Structure 1
Amino acid sequence: MFKETIDFIRGLYNHKEFVPLHEPFFNGNEKAYLADCIDSTFVSSVGKYVDSFEQSMVDFTGAKYAIATVNGTAALHISLLLSGVGREDEVITQPLTFVATCNAVSYIGAHPLFIDVDLDTLSLSPEKLEEFLVNYTEQQDGLCKNKVSGRTIKALVPMHTFGHPAKLKELSELASTHNITLIEDAAESLGSYYKNKHTGLFGAMGTLSFNGNKTITTGGGGMIITNDEGIARRAKYLTTTAKVPHIWEFYHDEVGYNYRLPNLNAALGCAQMELLPKILENKRSTARKYQEFFKKMDEIDFIAEPAECESNYWLNAIVLENRETRDSFLEATNRNGIMTRPIWKLMNRLPMYRNTWSGDLENSEWLEQRVVNIPSSVR
């Protein structure tokens, strides 16, 4: 079984000696735009490419506003602040995620609460969320209060795992009913749609990431997308060190953050956005080939896009029979030059979040022992 899979992946990627998990794809105007940016001398956070990159994201996603940031974690941090999350507040999220989701909560001095995921989406479960909200929260003066901790629950942050959209209709309805702000961690889901609407646009804000291993990259970088003009204006202000606009004066009227994306990185992003439709088409083609291949194997299941969704298939993933089989697969593939990796260790197992409240995490624990990411680069 392992040898057959290794041979298939090698063939898929033209029999390369080493097949990475996900490498960036540069096949357009990247060098030309970078050179133009350098020639302009505007390489920091002011320049035409920042504006162009933000506009290209508006055009692609359908958001009314896009605010570029230095990375996806910064975008999430600012989004949480804009949603009113403060010290000692609580934020509901999922344990099956990249650590940046929880770190952004911790930067504020707030506390994450972990709700289980669904097996079909790998993202936060509306059913488990509703169970928690009914049993452990109450409404006080228009705020959602945790009856156990006494803290206010300010935000709900589902993460679209590997680019597969969460059940956003149900999650947004629950957030609205319980007076909680929905913020989508869409770091992995650029080019993914739920009910024909781009991820990141179902809550007050959505955040994107353009790290070197993402669908498109700016080297490092992130984005806040929103349909709220007030949020967009304040996001740009806070990420630009809270500087009051003036031709020559430097005046800052509150604590801000140096989170704006440099023009140099945005130049790379502009070229990548031109390639995005081609990248997404190629990635869906790769996913179809994987899906057909793994149909023949009873021991391995390929994770396909959920119902009513169009996933970007950022990272393709498979589910093996148990942890022992998973570890054997990881050993065999990596030893033979095929880069694979397990899913993240659950957040509640990490030392800094070990004492965080968690509900029944049966699905998350089951997935943690079985899921493996396989090569997903553009071919």
Structure 2
Amino acid sequence: MTDSVEMFETIIDLTRSIYGDGFIPLHRPVFDGNEKQYLIDCIDSNFVSSVGKRVTEFEQKIAAFTGAKHAVATVNGTAALHVSLLLAGVERGDEVISQAVTFIATCNALSYAGAHAVFVDVDRETLGMSPDALRRFLAAHVTRRSGQAFNKRTGRRIAACVPMHTFGLPCRIEEIVALCRDSGITVIEDAAESLGSYVGRRHTGTFGKMATLSFNGNKVITTGGGGMIITDDDELAVRAKHLTTTAKIPHPYEFVHDLTGFNYRMPNLNAALGCAQMEELPRFLAIKADVARRYGEFFDRHDIQYMRAPAGTKSNYWLNAIVLDSLAERDAFLEYSNAQGVMTRPIWRLMTRLEMYKDCQHDGLENSRWLEERVINLPSSVPDSAIVAT
């Protein structure tokens, strides 16, 4: 245990060399650009809710940055995923394949749509859905009827697949999309954590039919609370904006709604923050890449597994992650680091270990369970750039 404590101390020293003294949060927002001015402009214009030029501007900036044809802003990433599932044709009683290594919002969105979650395992190298596990599941449990996939065990239609780019590390999304295409399953990428991550030169979130982003307070850029649907499909983009705007038919004064819609549009105030944050995004990503480099070099020297972007991909390193040797070591480090004022956390508890999703079908989740016992997130904020080595 003495050796472990010495190693823990060394990790804390490294973290403080990056972030300084005092309490170090896991990921804090940085507002040192035009955020205040854009908010003041918003207030002065009186357009503070979901009607305002900053909403459209933010959507255009996200579309341009990701290379998606369309972007539709929402109040949060969960709302974005909920609407995406509906746009993909997911109906109450359908099944959606996802991963048990994820934040609860992914599964909550499935529940909002009335869908049943089915979980396949992840890769240890990416923490994202494993195409190998997906291939095995499809071969063992899926039959095709009239071009659609059905689960042979439950008889339910499998309407969609939602893989996630965990902590900003791109999963093997091209293989997943190909498998689902062959099975008649729509892919919606949960790219909530991967703004600024790429597979080759292509941004995450542009491989599936749609994808969702999150701008929560702890993301690479933040709008306080907010999300986005991105897609290349013209019709889906129009429907997304319609559904998230209470399905109101545009009219100067009449209130006519043709569907059960949702009050999910992002307010102009939040979008103003987003526009200012987008101006800083390249700088944020460059600094975070340098933080990741310093972490990586340190953990290589000490023979501790540091989670890097797989070959041929680029990560935004939203949350830096290491893999320790055991559950006991994980828990000891969590207790030690947090007691020292350095915030660390374990990976999320597996969805199948939560009461709401404990009875969902899964494939054994061998890698997921292994990772749950070992993965730790380290502080990953954008620090003062003067502190970061160049």
- 2:301 equivalent in structure 1: 296
Letter paired with 2:367:
N
CA distance in 2, matches of 1:2, 1:142: 54
Residue in structure 1 matched with residue 8 of structure 2 by the alignment: 2
State the distance in 2 between where 1:342 and 1:243 align: 43
1:75 partner SS: helix
2:325 alignment partner AA: E
1:40 corresponds in structure 2 to: 45
Counterpart CA distance in 2 for 1:377 and 1:172 is: 32
- The residue type paired with residue 324 of structure 2 is L
Paired residue for 1:202?
A: 207
- 2:76 and 2:358 map into 1 onto residues whose CA distance is 26
> 1:365 corresponds to which residue?
369
Correspondence for 1:312: 316
Distance 1:192 1:326 in 2: 27
1:341 paired to 2:357: no
Q: Secondary structure at the match of 1:117?
A: coil
Shift of 1:295: 1.0
CA distance in 2, matches of 1:125, 1:102: 18
User: How far apart, in 2, do the equivalents of 1:273 and 1:108 lie?
Assistant: 31
Shift of 1:169: 1.2
> How far has the Cα of 1:254 moved from its partner?
1.1
Structure 2 length normalisation: TM-score? 0.96
Shift of 1:138: 0.5
1:128 deviates by 0.5
Paired position in structure 1 for 2:388 = none
**Per-residue displacement from partner, 1:101-126 (whole Å, max 9, x unpaired)?**
01100011110100000011100000
Task: Report % sequence identity.
Answer: 61
In structure 2, what is the equivalent of residue 326 of structure 1? Answer: 330
| Counterparts of 1:178 and 1:46, CA distance in 2 | 40
- Structure 2: any 5+ residue segments left out of the alignment? 1-6, 384-390
Q: Equivalents in 2 of 1:254, 1:26: separation in Å?
A: 39
Report deviation, 1:360: 2.1
Match of 2:235? 230
Superposed CA RMSD: 0.6
What is the rounded CA distance, in whole Å, between the counterparts of 2:321 and 2:140 in structure 1?
34
Give 1:88-107 correspondences, 5 Å limit.
Answer: 88-107=93-112
Paired residues in the alignment total 377
Equivalence for 1:76: 81
| Partner Cα separation in structure 1 for residue 63 and residue 330 of structure 2 | 40
Q: How does 1:142-221 map to 2 (within 5 A)?
A: 142-221=147-226
Runs of 4+ in 1 over 6 A off after TM superposition: none
Unpaired stretches in structure 1, ≥5 consecutive residues:
none
